[in-house]
């Protein structure tokens, strides 16, 4: 909680009733918008969302995507992007990447983890050493079992390793072992895992879901493909492994892009908002 009892409320697409407590305490509060599915929730519950945002001292969106999508519910939403400490993520240039792939998200159906084995299956005939490590907590909706089943049915179980969620401190090392980051999601905002991959210099292949087009530039910092298209994802990975000069350019640009989201650049914006809230 910020100094002097000021409050911040996160609105991730539904849990907005805490605002009543803040009003009862007569404290100014700041709403932070989260989740790629928040615009759909707002369309279903416009009155609830509008009432919540109208009472906030300020409303912060971590992406231009949510800023645009939520503007009908409040016109002065401020953009302060998600941030990472890039010094924690060692950069390695990847001009000649190997087919070592990594996927890092929660195992939940909206992130389409079963597409990971589908990508590997499409590459296995051409790259005999292709491997995919999938790292993330199990959200309990059957996605882990579905991913294992998909790998078995496609005959790539020996190429796909599923790792339970790891401590945050281990993330940089886990990412650094791979050369290509694969993001299969169908719903998203500004995933921190993607920022972490960029910071490490991985060659990123991602769907164009939600706010991702505001985060990466296709062909410059990552390769973007339509959501729910494993063939397109595999083709993009193939380009990175085969097309001269592409991987090196993506890797170098990725790190530079990640540095624009470093806390040193983002923190002053939060400082300004909080100081404004502290004024009488």
* CB neighbour class for 212 (10 Å; exposed up to 12, middle 13-18, buried from 19): buried
- Is the CATH number 3.40.1160.10 carried by domain 86-259? no
Any idea of the CA torsion for 49, 139, 188, 207, to the nearest 10 degrees? -160
Q: Are 177 and 195 in contact (CB under 8 A)?
A: no
Q: Which residue has the higher pLDDT, 2 or 214?
A: 214
Instruction: For tokens 């290509």, name the residue.
Output: 180
Give the distance, in angstroms, between the CA of residue 147 and the centroid of all CA atoms in the same chain: 20
DSSP 9-48: EEESSS--TTHHHHHHHT--EEEEE--TTHHHHHHHSHHH
Q: Where are the domains of the chain?
A: 3-83+262-278, 86-259
Asked if the model's pLDDT at residue 11 lies above 60, the reply is no
Backbone angles phi, psi at 278, to 5 degrees: -80, -15
Look over the chain and give the mean of its residue pLDDT values, rounded to a whole number: 91
Binned at pLDDT 50, 70 and 90, residue 75 comes out as very high
Q: Is the pLDDT of residue 17 over 60?
A: no
Instruction: Return the pLDDT at 52.
Output: 84
**Residues 216-267 pLDDT 10s:** 999 999 999 999 999 999 999 999 999 999 999 999 999 999 999 999 999 9
**Which residue reads 């296709």 in tokens?**
218
The CA–CA distances, whole Å, from 196 to 28, 103, 179, 274 equal: 33, 12, 13, 26
- How far apart, in whole angstroms, are the C-alpha atoms of residue 72 and residue 42? 10
Secondary structure of the chain: what % helix, strand, coil (to 5)?
Answer: 45, 15, 35
- Computed on alpha carbons and rounded to an integer, the radius of gyration of the chain in Å comes to 20
Q: What is the pLDDT of residue 249?
A: 98
Q: Which residue has the higher pLDDT, 56 or 232?
A: 232
User: pTM for this structure?
Assistant: 0.88
SS3 157: helix
The residue among 278, 279, 280 whose CA lies nearest residue 4 is 278
pLDDT 10s digits, 119-167: 999 999 999 999 999 999 999 999 999 999 999 999 999 999 999 889 9
Q: In whole angstroms, what is the distance from residue 249 CA to residue 260 CA? A: 17
Class of the CATH-defined domain 3-83+262-278: alpha beta
Give the Cα separation of 215 and 245 in Å (integer): 22
CA 155 from chain centre, in angstroms, equals 29
What is the percent of the chain where pLDDT is above 90?
82
């Amino acid at each position: 909680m910020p100094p002097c009892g000021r409050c911040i409320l996160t609105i991730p697409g539904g849990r907005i009733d805490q605002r009543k407590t803040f009003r009862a305490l007569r404290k100014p509060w700041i709403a932070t918008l989260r989740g790629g599915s928040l615009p759909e929730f707002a369309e279903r519950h416009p009155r609830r969302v509008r009432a919540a945002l109208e009472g906030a001292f300020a409303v912060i969106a971590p992406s231009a995507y949510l800023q645009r999508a939520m503007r009908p519910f409040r016109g002065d939403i401020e953009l302060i992007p998600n941030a990472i400490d890039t010094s924690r993520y060692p950069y390695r240039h990847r001009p000649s990447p190997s087919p070592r792939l990594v996927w890092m998200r929660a195992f939940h159906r909206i992130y389409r983890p079963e597409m990971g084995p589908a990508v590997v299956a499409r590459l296995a005939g051409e790259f005999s050493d292709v491997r995919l490590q999938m790292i993330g907590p199990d959200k309990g909706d059957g996605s882990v079992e579905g991913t294992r089943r998909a790998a078995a049915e496609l005959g790539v179980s020996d190429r796909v390793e599923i790792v339970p969620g790891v401590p945050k401190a281990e993330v940089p090392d886990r990412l650094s072992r791979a050369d290509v980051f694969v993001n299969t999601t169908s719903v998203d905002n500004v995933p921190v895992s993607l920022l972490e991959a960029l910071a490490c210099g991985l060659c990123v292949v991602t769907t164009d879901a939600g706010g991702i087009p505001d985060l990466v530039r296709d062909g410059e910092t990552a390769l973007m493909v339509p959501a729910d298209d494993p063939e397109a994802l595999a083709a993009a990975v193939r380009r990175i492994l085969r097309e001269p000069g592409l991987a090196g350019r993506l890797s170098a640009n990725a790190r530079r892009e990640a540095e624009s989201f470093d806390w040193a650049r983002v923190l002053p914006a939060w400082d300004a908002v909080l100081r404004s809230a502290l004024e009488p």
